[in-house]
Amino acid sequence: MASLKFPRIKDPLLLMILLAVLLAVAFPAQGDLARGFDLATKLAIGLLFFLYGARLSPQEALAGLKNWRLHGTILAFTYLIFPLLGLVLFPLQGLLGQELYLGLLFMTLLPSTVQSSVAFTSIARGNVAGAIVSASASNLLGIVVTPLLVMLLMRSDNLTISGSVFADIALQLLLPFTLGQLLRPWVGELAQKKLTKYVDRLSIAMVVYAAFSEGVVEGIWAQISLWQLVLLVLVSLALVEFLLWFSGFVCRRLGFSYEDRVAAQFCGSKKSLATGLPMAAVIFAGSSVGALVLPLMIFHQVQLMVCAIKASSWARARAQDEG
């Protein structure tokens, strides 16, 4: 009997996040250092979205948009099914507390991932081009849709959210992205290299350090227990498994091919840490975001592990069917 082989995932991002958390616990940013680091983080986020814009080919995006049923299904899961699940989980507020529940709800309002969705779709021999277009479209729409959903669904006296968030999003995220698109003929090749990956990881680590530093200074982490963290892991696991199953069920009923179904399952079951953390820093500026981003960081790791196992399993099953 052949032994079950699990895919190897080398995730330097996880190590950087853990180091950022440990650094924040040991040496939290305060005063002038915190203000200077906040400015540096905003610059890093702007550079990241500039590189995102420089990487996306308008021709590829337009060609991929023809598969409107696939993209519509993925967007429905990302911005309709996911938020509804976030609202259904409201009773957990009594166990998790308001801030952790709001963080869980915020996670459900975010765009899908790009890199991991495409990577897992490729491993499982799905529609890679469709995954690229859908995940990219999800992130572009998220610049507007996510703040709208936050304002509609997230209510708390501890959060500061106003209409100016759209101006902040436009200035810090959309403007750099647009500049990247305009300058793509000159910087597109540079953006395709490892520079974008390095900036991606660095900006996330910076946001994590800033958020956890604020939490340490304000004593937030002393209020979060081990069993609450375990509950977040279990909820994340249940969400990923349910969405993988439900998206597959819907795609089968819609008559999708295997390739499109795989793309829909992986794009529709994940949320973007790379986009979510910068958005949290912008949307909740002036509020404590440490506890708000913790559910997203936990969900990110759970989705990677579950989807990696699924992708490898589906790839082997597909190879056997074709063989």
Classify residue 320: in a domain, yes or no: no
Classify residue 25: in a domain, yes or no: no
Mutual orientation of helices 194-218 and 12-26 as an angle, nearest 10°? 30
Are 135 and 268 in contact, with CB atoms under 8 Å apart?
no
60 pLDDT tier (thresholds 50, 70, 90):
low
Classify residue 116: in a domain, yes or no: yes
| Percentage of residues of the chain with pLDDT beyond 70 | 85
CA distance 106 to 277: 11
Q: Count of domains in the chain? A: 1
When pLDDT is averaged across residues 159-170 and rounded to a whole number, the result is 59
Put residue 217 in one of left, alpha, beta given phi > 0 → left and psi -120 to 50 → alpha: alpha
CA distance 68 to 212: 40
Each residue's pLDDT tens digit, 62-120: 655 677 889 899 999 999 999 999 999 999 999 998 889 999 999 999 998 876 787 78
Are 142 and 111 in contact, with CB atoms under 8 Å apart?
yes
Classify residue 153: in a domain, yes or no: yes
**Where do runs of H (alpha helix) occur along 154-288?**
165-169, 175-182, 184-192, 194-218, 226-253, 258-268, 273-283
Residues ≥6 apart with Cβ < 8 Å to 195: 51
CA distance 73 to 141: 14
Q: Which domain holds residue 281?
A: 31-313
Classify residue 91: in a domain, yes or no: yes
Classify residue 293: in a domain, yes or no: yes
Q: What is the pLDDT of residue 6?
A: 44
CA distance 232 to 92: 10
- Please report, for the domain that includes residue 307, its CATH number: 1.20.1530.20
276 pLDDT tier (thresholds 50, 70, 90):
confident
Q: What is the pLDDT of residue 4?
A: 44
When pLDDT is averaged across residues 276-281 and rounded to a whole number, the result is 81
The pTM of this model reads 0.75
CB-CB neighbours of 138 under 10 Å: 28
- Measured CA to CA in angstroms, residue 121 lies from 126, 135, 214 at distances of 5, 11, 37
CA distance 122 to 263: 9
When pLDDT is averaged across residues 137-141 and rounded to a whole number, the result is 81
Q: What is the mean pLDDT of the chain?
A: 81
Does 194 score more than 80 pLDDT? no
Classify residue 7: in a domain, yes or no: no
Classify residue 1: in a domain, yes or no: no
